[in-house]
Chains A and B, each alone.
Chain A
Amino acid sequence: MRHHLVLRVIAKMLIPFILLFGLYVQFHGDFGPGGGFQAGVIFAAAFILYALVFGDNQARKVIPDKALILLVPLGLILYAVTGFYGLVFGGNFLDYNVLLNSPKAGQHIGIFLVELGVGITVAAVMISIFRAYAGRTRAIDDEDW
């Protein structure tokens, strides 16, 4: 893709905004449309765009495989730990009311943590699946298509 100047410039310009939008969807999900799953796929789409335009090897420098493989279970663990946290404080599993002083504050922090967990796992899984495919494909000349 070295010679696709327009693609490279436009992608470089777009990626920060895609990431920012992903963060907005993630952390504004209580108020606007969105949530962890949507934010995760938008985030993953930005990284996949980067990998498509600048190459798989370059993308692996941004998020190394070892970090990615840790992020995949991390989100799920964060979700489950939030659930068990409610148990520890005398509520039911995934009961956020007991997390903080007031039930509403507890609900807020609980939903925040749970959505963050969803976002981390979804983004990491999507990037991992892309890499699993990209890592098996040899580089293709434009004429090949």
Chain B
Amino acid sequence: MLDMVTIVDVVLLALLSTTAVAILLMRHLFAVVALTGAFSLLSAGLLVTLDAVDVAFTEAAVGAGISTVLMLGTLALTRRRESRPPRLSPIGLLVITITGGALIYATPDMPKFGDPNAPSHQHIIPSYIKGSQDEIGIPNIVTSILASYRSFDTLGEVAVIFTAGMGVIILLGRRREDEHGYSEDVAAYPLKEQNKPKINDETTT
């Protein structure tokens, strides 16, 4: 009963909940960001025990690495402390209790982990598993589903990533200093009156 995986799962989940509570209680946002990164790293460990190594890669690289850095970058542009101490809201507590209770109530009805007869492993999945060997000839079924059987979906996902990147580049992508002599302050607060570029005044007058 108490095998190695269970022990690792329990330890990881306990650390996850501890980190989550610590994030809730902290006011200094730098520490919150650091703990968010730790939370992602712990989730990555949990995904490894679930045999989802590729998802764990992504969680470790994006969740613990890149998004932590992006949040630090955001902190550098804004304030580093939460301004308003949080109040205990009875409605929020009620919603969380009901939602959490419903989720826990429904958990025993879920199919067992790795059950081949689970509904999510029926329907078209057996033909994917078989076809990955016979039609496509690569051992990693996840890759053959993502890149071949559901290639159209993946194309859409790449388009979403492309669009998101373009949006950020267009909105925020201005350099710290450019040839018009924009300074750091100008780049951070481009709308302030004294930060309007001088070159415009010369060309308009």
Contact status A111-B147, CB under 8 Å:
yes
Contact status B61-A31, CB under 8 Å:
no
Interface positions, chain A 82-130, Cβ under 8 Å from B, are: 83, 93-94, 96, 103-104, 107-108, 110-111, 114-115, 117-118, 121-122, 124-126, 128-130
- List B contacts of A14 (CB < 8 A): none
Contact status A72-B137, CB under 8 Å:
no
Contact partner of A125 (CB less than 8 A), chosen from B65, B162, B176, is: B162
Contact status B162-A140, CB under 8 Å:
no
Contact partner of A37 (CB less than 8 A), chosen from B58, B77, B80, B187, is: B58
- A35 and chain B: residue at smallest CB distance: B143
Question: With an 8 A cutoff between CB atoms, is A10 at the interface?
Answer: no
Binds A, one of B96-104, B109-117, B153-161: B153-161
**In the complex, which range does the number of interface residues on chain B fall in?**
35 or more
For the complex formed, measure the closest distance between the CB of A108 and the CB atoms of chain B, giving whole angstroms.
7
Expressed in whole angstroms, the Cα–Cα distance for A122 and B173 within the complex equals 17
For the complex formed, measure the closest distance between the CB of A43 and the CB atoms of chain B, giving whole angstroms.
9
For the complex formed, measure the closest distance between the CB of B119 and the CB atoms of chain A, giving whole angstroms.
25
Question: With an 8 A cutoff between CB atoms, is A136 at the interface?
Answer: yes
Whether A33 contacts B158 in the complex (CB less than 8 A), given A124-B165, A136-B77, A140-B76, comes out as: no
Expressed in whole angstroms, the Cα–Cα distance for A138 and B171 within the complex equals 18
Expressed in whole angstroms, the Cα–Cα distance for A129 and B163 within the complex equals 12
- List A contacts of B172 (CB < 8 A): 132-133, 135-136
Contact status A121-B58, CB under 8 Å:
no
Expressed in whole angstroms, the Cα–Cα distance for A48 and B71 within the complex equals 13
Best-buried of A35, A48, A128, A129 by chain B (most CB within 10 Å): A129
The 3 lowest CB-CB distance pairs between A and B, nearest first, are: A125-B165, A133-B73, A132-B172
Residues of A that sit less than 8 Å from B by CB: 25, 29-38, 41-42, 44-45, 48-49, 52, 56, 65, 69, 72-73, 75-76, 79-80, 83, 93-94, 96, 103-104, 107-108, 110-111, 114-115, 117-118, 121-122, 124-126, 128-138, 140, 145
